[in-house]
Amino acid sequence: MFIAPRPELDDDPHFAVRIALMPLIGLVLAMLLRSPLPMIYPTMMFSLIAGNRKAFNPGRVFAAPVVFSAALWLMSGVVVMLQGIPLVLITVMGVIYFLAFYMIQKTGTAFGMLIIVAGALMSIMGLGSYPAMTYLRAEMGKAALCSAFVIPILYMLLPPRTREVHIDDAAPSFDYGWGRRAAIRAVVMLGYSLYLYTILDFSNMMLAVAGMFVLVHSTRQSIWREAGQRSFSVLLGGGIGLGILSAMTISSHLSVLLALVFLATLWLGSKMLSGRLPAMTYQDSASVMISLVGSALATSEPSFAFIQRAGLTVAGTLVAARVVSILDALLVKEPTTVAEAIADRNA
């Protein structure tokens, strides 16, 4: 799957400041709207702006929230129609996962990931509680639409230096075995969703998202590299988040919380520009930190929330990486002749 390249300081000197402002705006919006899931607004809004590169791209900024909101409504509709027959719902979700993973394998685009995330969140919540699913859908939809309003304002106030619009160079990692790779990932994703259904509740559903991304990678090397980076991201972001929450025991003013979140995100944003690790490692760390701090606004046990998030994300990611890499090695063989390559292209 296509991953955004490292942002360039020469192209966008205000990149770190712009993304550091977004979680502050998200937290304020969550409090003003009295959201039951305050971590969704800053986390989603940060993720949507942090993935942008170079000049402001209206098509990307406005399309992503609309498409994701539409995917949430579509997936929730499927869940509502099949809620009374769980076996059929699980089968249909498996087909949806397969088609989305096939799209990723064949084109390299991240659009399929939006479908997977929306389908997993809605099906996991829908199996347990219809009101909880509607709450989650509404809050995630509102957060996505808020980002479409806020991001252009931030780009206007803090414009990048370049006028070049970044174009995603999406391409498949392999030209064979798309169907088999998609089937492997769909089966693992289905099992992972059922696992999450048994252990997560309404307030911790954002924990489910991080472990899903590793399944889209195509090679054993990239899977394990992604698993290691995501594990480190959770630990780094969680450590920073706990540090912020610990500081709040000394001074519990909202202005202190917002200032600490801003400084932490600013530091991680600057590391996205010049850090030794891949930019996505620091971006994921910021998402974990923001989600943990946001979760603390609605829970009395932020340390337990972090332990749960870190444990589930690291364990889920590593297990998914292990299973997918083994199945890829066993079931997806590189063709040795032209005839085999043609026959195996879509298998």
Query: What was the pLDDT predicted at 213?
Result: 64
**What local confidence, expressed as pLDDT, does residue 199 receive?**
72
Residue 343 has pLDDT above 60, yes or no: no
Comparing 111-115, 151-155, 170-174, 322-326, the range with the smallest average pLDDT is 170-174
Q: Please answer whether residues 207 and 234 qualify as being in contact, where contact means their C-beta atoms are separated by less than 8 angstroms.
A: no
Q: Which residues have C-beta within 8 Å of that of residue 27, sequence separation ≥ 6?
A: 38, 41, 42, 257, 258, 261, 293, 294, 297
| 312, two tokens | 């589930």
- pLDDT value of residue 260: 93
Q: Give the pLDDT score at 259.
A: 92
Query: Mean pLDDT, the chain, as a whole number?
Result: 81
State the pLDDT confidence band at 338, using cuts at 50, 70 and 90: very low
- For 265-294, how does the pLDDT look when each residue is reduced to its tens digit (9 = 90+)? 999 999 999 888 888 889 888 988 888 787
pLDDT at residue 251, as a whole number: 76
Q: What is the DSSP string of 168-191?
A: -----S-SS-HHHHHHHHHHHHHH
Confidence of residue 20 (pLDDT cuts 50, 70, 90): very high
pLDDT tens for each residue of 39-66 = 789 988 998 898 888 888 888 888 888 8
pLDDT of 255:
86
Chain segment 235-247, per-residue pLDDT in tens: 888 889 888 888 8
